[in-house]
Amino acid sequence: MFYLSYLKNELVRRIGKTITISLGLAIASAIIIVIISTSQSLSSTQETVLNPLENVGTDILVTRTVDLEDGGKDMAAGYDYLRENIVTTDLSQYGNAGDTFVRDVFLSGSLLSFPTEEATDLDKSLVDDYALGLILNVTHQEGEIPEIVSEIETGGEELFIGGQEIEIVGEVIDIGTEIAPMTYEEEEAMSEVKGNVRKEIQERGLDPKSPEGRIIMMDAINEAMPERFKGTEGTIITDSRMMRTEDRTITTDKQIIRTEIDTPETNIQTENFTVAGVDITKENIGLVLPDQVVEGEFISESNQVVVSTSYASSEEINIADTITLSETEYSVVGIVEPKLYTNTADIYLELAELQRISEREDNINIMLVKSADAFSVEDVSSQLDGLFTGAQVTDSSDTADKVTGSLVDAASLTDKFVGLTSIIVMIAAFIIITLLTVLSINKRTREIGTLKAIGWSNKTVVRQILMENIVLGVIGALVGIGMGLLAIVALNNFDISFSAEFASSGIETMGNKWFGMGEETTPSSTSFNLQVTYTYTTLLIGSLIAIAGAIIAGTIAAFKSSRMRPSEALRHLE
Partner 1 sequence: MTLIELKNLHREYKQGSKTIHAVDGIDLKVSKGDYLVIFGSSGSGKSTLLQLIGGLERPSKGSVFIDGKNIAEISESKLTKLRGHKVGFVFQHYNLIPTLSALQNVEAAIINRSDQDKEKAKKALKMVGLGNRVNHLPSLLSGGEQQRVAIARALINEPDIILADEPTGNLDTKTGEEIADILKRLNKENNQTIILITHSEYNRKYASRVMSIKDGKLQEEMK
Binding residues for partner 1, per CB under 8 A? 2, 5-6, 9-10, 12-14, 446-447, 450-458, 565-567, 569-570, 572, 574
Q: Are 334 and 300 in contact (CB under 8 A)?
A: no
Name which of 6, 26, 10 is nearest 18 in CA terms.
10
**CA 103, CA 88: separation in Å to the nearest integer?**
11
Query: Taking the complex as a whole, how short is the minimal distance between the CB of residue 461 and partner 1, in angstroms?
Result: 10
- How many angstroms separate the CA atoms of 491 and 531, rounded? 8
Rounded to whole angstroms, how far apart are CA atoms 21 and 10? Answer: 13
> What is the closest distance, in whole angstroms, from the C-beta atom of residue 2 to partner 1 in the complex?
5
Q: What's the closest the beta carbon of residue 468 comes to partner 1, in angstroms?
A: 11
H or E segment to which residue 142 belongs: strand 127-144
- In angstroms, the CA 396 to CA 160 distance is 52
Compute the least distance from the CB of residue 48 to partner 1, in Å: 55
> What is the nearest approach in angstroms of partner 1 to the Cβ of residue 549?
23
Closer residue to partner 1, CB minimum distance, 15 or 420? 15
Nearer to partner 1, 420 or 454 (CB): 454
CA separation for the pair 22, 31 (Å, rounded): 14
- Quick one: how far is CA 434 from the chain centroid? 50
| Closest CB 12 distance from partner 1, rounded Å | 8
18: nearest Cα among 473, 490, 478, 495:
473
CB closer to partner 1, 10 vs 346: 10
Nearest CB to partner 1, comparing residues 268 and 471 = 471
3-state SS, residue 237: coil
When the beta carbons of 5 and 125 are compared against partner 1, the nearer one is: 5
Distance in Å, CB of 545 to partner 1, minimum: 28
Is the CB of 321 or the CB of 568 nearer to partner 1?
A: 568
Phi, psi of 550 (to 5 degrees): -65, -40
Nearer to partner 1, 183 or 457 (CB): 457
CB of 466 to partner 1, least distance (A): 17
For the bound state, the minimum distance from the C-beta of residue 482 to partner 1, rounded and expressed in Å, comes to 27
For 250, residues 6+ apart whose C-beta sits below 8 A from its C-beta are: 159, 161, 168, 236
Q: How far is the CB of 49 from partner 1 (least distance, A)?
A: 56
| 400 vs 453, beta carbon nearer partner 1 | 453
376 versus 450: smaller Cβ distance to partner 1: 450
244/459 with CB nearer partner 1: 459
Nearest CA to 539 out of 27, 23, 33, 34 is that of 33
Q: How far apart are CA 324 and CA 102, in angstroms?
A: 10
> Which whole-number Å values give the CA distances from 29 to 436, 482, 483, 548, in the listed order?
17, 10, 9, 10
Closer of 12 and 261 to partner 1 (Cβ) = 12
3-state helix/strand/coil string of 291-356 = HHEEEECCCCCCCEEEEEHHHHHHHCCCCCCEEEECCEEEEEEEEECCCCHHHCCCEEEEHHHHHH
How do 403-404 and 114-115 pair as beta strands?
A: unpaired
Choose between 317 and 451: whose C-beta lies nearer to partner 1: 451
Q: DSSP letters along 172-222, please?
A: ---TT---PPPPHHHHHHHHHHHHHHHHHHHHTT--TTSHHHHHHHHHHHH
Q: Least Å distance between CB 547 and partner 1?
A: 23
CB of 452 to partner 1, least distance (A): 7
CA distances from 340 to 28, 308, 352 (A): 39, 12, 21
Backbone dihedral angles phi then psi of residue 420, each to the nearest 5 degrees = -60, -50
* CA dist 304 → 247, 281, 408 (Å): 57, 14, 36
Evaluate whether 392 touches 63 at the Cβ level (below 8 Å). yes
Q: In this structure, are strands 269-278 and 347-350 parallel, antiparallel, or unpaired?
A: parallel
